[in-house]
Chain A
């Protein structure tokens, strides 16, 4: 790796680690923490849609499964937070496996429709399975994680858990992308028939991607539950799944940094637009459409072409 990249990476890490030292508004920190948590969901969707080319509109449902698994284990069974987070991830992954196995025999629009159906069913279960989920009233008193006697009970402290999780998830996605599994996923995206004829068990790899996307969303759901300490079914709607999809596409679907940038940008955009009050949703919608029209390869694609332009110019002049 070139030295400048290592230095830039280190500088970025230091800057990220210092954020809570400079941001003192609890409100702003919540927004930042949530952006990071959503970035995890969007990275997972990036593995599924960006790498493997399979669309899911159920990521909010997996977020909910993670949140409720974690919430239920800690409040009802008294589990500590960390193993509950692992269990939340595992539960979402397992349900991803159960749903992915039949669904991934479908493709294109049919797959999208099946995932929409699953998402809606999940939300209905969260609302109606009152003995476990407490229905529309939601679940309260979800504890904050702690290490020894250090409790991550402020948004500034929680930020570090989110940061570590985002970095770990980005690392996993990057390792997948740059090795054999990632190449198999990209082969399926590019041409499934050729991928099969090349010896790739496309169904198996699509399921792997679906399970990973579920696990990412499950972890994110758990992180969200232990940050807000309160969860209710309305956060895990079809609309929210669409927002995750838009975040990925705006960021740049096959790029890990694009997934993070898209999630952060679209989560902050409403905050920036808040002064517009009632007309904000219109401007937000127009901004999203403009981004998709003018940056077909997402934010990351735009940045890459800008960089290519600025690095090529001097050479051409010489």
Chain B
């Protein structure tokens, strides 16, 4: 591949959102949004409260249906597909208001994340041994490996609900990673975390990227956003107001106005 081709491939992006519109009754939550997430990046989506960040994520993962525009992932169209099909294509996510399978154990939560990478169905379940037993063992082993990766292997047997908040967020990340996604959507992963937990999270996000997963995250913690992101998209009132590397964003007058009317702390 020539360097020009490489640049073209990078610029075409793993996820390309074009003219995305989402309305709730008379309110336009996302208005003609364009955004390109390049493969291998950690991409942050920021903006004041109510600017349409979570709505955008929910439309990408098909929890909401888009009212217009296109969402291309690796060349294929996502808009119009059901949520489970999008997960199957390699887009996983976590939730701002944590959505774990609370009554189940931590390891079971992550094993469920393997759903799209495993096959045993109803007939297979009735035939113990052989392929079924092998897949079951592999699913558990892979889930435990991921719990080790996020630092939670010691609570594998505990019920998900019993974990502290920060740990629950990491279980959600492990569950999402279990599907071996190419794109991971994270909705405020640092919300409710103390500074020490946030530091651990930053290291975790970087090592997820190193495993070859592209990240698109919504976050209010500007220190985290500025230190971890390769690129940032800024939304205000459902519209794209800026996109670029952290330094550009921190100096962008539109962004500064949208936020505080002050400078962003780029530390």
Taking the complex as formed, is A309 at the interface, i.e. its CB lies under 8 A from any CB of chain B?
A: no
Count: A-B pairs, CB below 8 Å: 97
Contact A183 B112 (CB under 8 A): yes
Nearest-CB residue, chain B, relative to A174: B125
User: Which of B18-26, B28-36, B97-105 is the interface stretch?
Assistant: B97-105
Report A166-214 residues with CB < 8 Å from chain B CB: 172, 175-176, 179-184, 186-187, 190-191, 193-202, 208
User: Which of B113-121, B219-227, B251-259 is the interface stretch?
Assistant: B113-121
Taking the complex as formed, is B235 at the interface, i.e. its CB lies under 8 A from any CB of chain A?
A: no
Taking the complex as formed, is B132 at the interface, i.e. its CB lies under 8 A from any CB of chain A?
A: yes
Taking the complex as formed, is B139 at the interface, i.e. its CB lies under 8 A from any CB of chain A?
A: yes
> Which of A182, A198, A200, A202 gathers the greatest number of chain B CB atoms within 10 Å?
A198
Which residues in A have their C-beta under 8 angstroms from that of B116?
198-199
- Least CB distance from A166 to B in Å reads 16
Taking the complex as formed, is B82 at the interface, i.e. its CB lies under 8 A from any CB of chain A?
A: yes
Contact B100 A194 (CB under 8 A): yes
Nearest-CB residue, chain A, relative to B108: A183
Report the Cα distance A190→B108, complex, angstroms.
Answer: 12
Nearest-CB residue, chain B, relative to A201: B84
Taking the complex as formed, is B56 at the interface, i.e. its CB lies under 8 A from any CB of chain A?
A: no
- Least CB distance from B63 to A in Å reads 6
Contact A200 B101 (CB under 8 A): no
Nearest-CB residue, chain A, relative to B135: A180
Contact A197 B122 (CB under 8 A): no
Which residues in B have their C-beta under 8 angstroms from that of A176?
122, 125
Report the Cα distance A176→B132, complex, angstroms.
Answer: 12
Report the Cα distance A183→B140, complex, angstroms.
Answer: 12
Report the Cα distance A208→B125, complex, angstroms.
Answer: 13
**CB contact between B84 and one of A179, A180, A181, A202 (< 8 Å): that residue:** A202
- Least CB distance from B172 to A in Å reads 8
Taking the complex as formed, is B111 at the interface, i.e. its CB lies under 8 A from any CB of chain A?
A: yes
Contact B63 A187 (CB under 8 A): no
- Least CB distance from B29 to A in Å reads 18
Which residues in B have their C-beta under 8 angstroms from that of A201?
82, 84
Contact A200 B82 (CB under 8 A): no
Which residues in B have their C-beta under 8 angstroms from that of A195?
101, 112
Contact B101 A194 (CB under 8 A): yes
Which residues in A have their C-beta under 8 angstroms from that of B119?
180
**CB contact between B87 and one of A172, A180, A199, A208 (< 8 Å): that residue:** A199
Main secondary structure of the interface of A (DSSP, over half): helix
Taking the complex as formed, is B93 at the interface, i.e. its CB lies under 8 A from any CB of chain A?
A: yes
> Which of A184, A187, A202 gathers the greatest number of chain B CB atoms within 10 Å?
A187
**CB contact between A186 and one of B88, B104, B118, B122 (< 8 Å): that residue:** B104
Which residues in B have their C-beta under 8 angstroms from that of A187?
101, 104, 112, 115
Given contacts A197-B61, A197-B83, A201-B84, contact A183 B100 (CB under 8 A): no
Given contacts A175-B125, A190-B102, A208-B122, contact A198 B112 (CB under 8 A): yes
Report the Cα distance A201→B121, complex, angstroms.
Answer: 13
Which residues in B have their C-beta under 8 angstroms from that of A200?
84, 112, 115
Which residues in B have their C-beta under 8 angstroms from that of A190?
100-104
Nearest-CB residue, chain A, relative to B139: A180
Contact B122 A181 (CB under 8 A): yes
Given contacts A179-B136, A190-B103, A191-B100, contact A198 B175 (CB under 8 A): yes
Which residues in A have their C-beta under 8 angstroms from that of B104?
183, 186-187, 190
Which residues in B have their C-beta under 8 angstroms from that of A184?
112, 115
Contact A196 B108 (CB under 8 A): no
Binding site for A on B (CB under 8 A): 61, 63, 82-84, 87-88, 92-93, 95, 99-104, 108, 111-113, 115-116, 118-122, 124-126, 128, 132, 135-136, 139, 175-176, 179
8 further contact pairs, Cβ within 8 A, besides A179-B124, A181-B125 = A184-B112, A184-B115, A186-B103, A191-B99, A193-B99, A194-B95, A195-B112, A196-B83
